[in-house]
Amino acid sequence: MTTDGGGGGGESTEPALEDIPLSLDAMLDILANQRRRDLLELLQDRPENTVLFEEATKHILTEKSRQIGQQPNQDGVQVELQHHHLTKLADAGVIEYDIRSQTIRYRPDEQLEDLYDRIRDFQQERAVQ
């Protein structure tokens, strides 16, 4: 909990961002983009759910290259990651991004992970057909 800053010294009744469950629309918006799904998968697989920005960039470059069949522009991927995808995930409370240390930390969300698993299963089923 955070203090209310009202001089009374009491605690705010507003929950912290990470305590508010994501709405279905928010989860679908997050998972609607392949780059964000790739990033979440990377973060879930790492100890302490943490990666450096450089490692995340390399992972996205590898995945994007595999998906489109050619090497994407690294600068473009870095800009897209930093200014769009990380911002969206941080605003939703799914990650913490420390720009100084270049550290990205995932805040595990069971509902988001369940929905992601269903989307991944759906993608795999479609790929087989």
CATH of the domain at 48: 1.10.10
40 within some domain: yes
The encoded tokens of residue 111 equal 């509902």
Instruction: Match 């998968």 to its residue by tokens.
Output: 41
The pLDDT, as a whole number, for residue 54 is 96
Question: Per the structure, how many domains does the chain have?
Answer: 1
| Terminal CA-CA length for the chain | 49
The confidence score (pLDDT) of residue 44 equals: 94
- Residue 48: how many CB atoms within 10 A of its CB? 8
Q: Determine, yes or no, domain membership for 100.
A: yes
- Ranges of the chain whose pLDDT falls below 70: 1-19
- State the DSSP code for 70: S
Domain with 87 in it: 20-121
- At residue 1, the pLDDT reads 25
Does a structural domain hold residue 111? yes
Chain-centre distance for alpha carbon 124? 21
Average pLDDT, the chain: 86
Q: Let me know if residue 91 belongs to a domain.
A: yes
Q: What are residue 98's DSSP bridge partners?
A: 103
- The answer to whether residue 52 sits within a structural domain is yes
Burial of 36 (0-12, 13-18, 19+ CB in 10 A): buried
What is the predicted pLDDT for the residue at 5? 42
> Does 102 fall in a domain?
yes
Could you give the dihedral angle defined by the CA atoms of residues 40, 52, 106 and 112, in that order, rounded to the nearest 10 degrees? -10
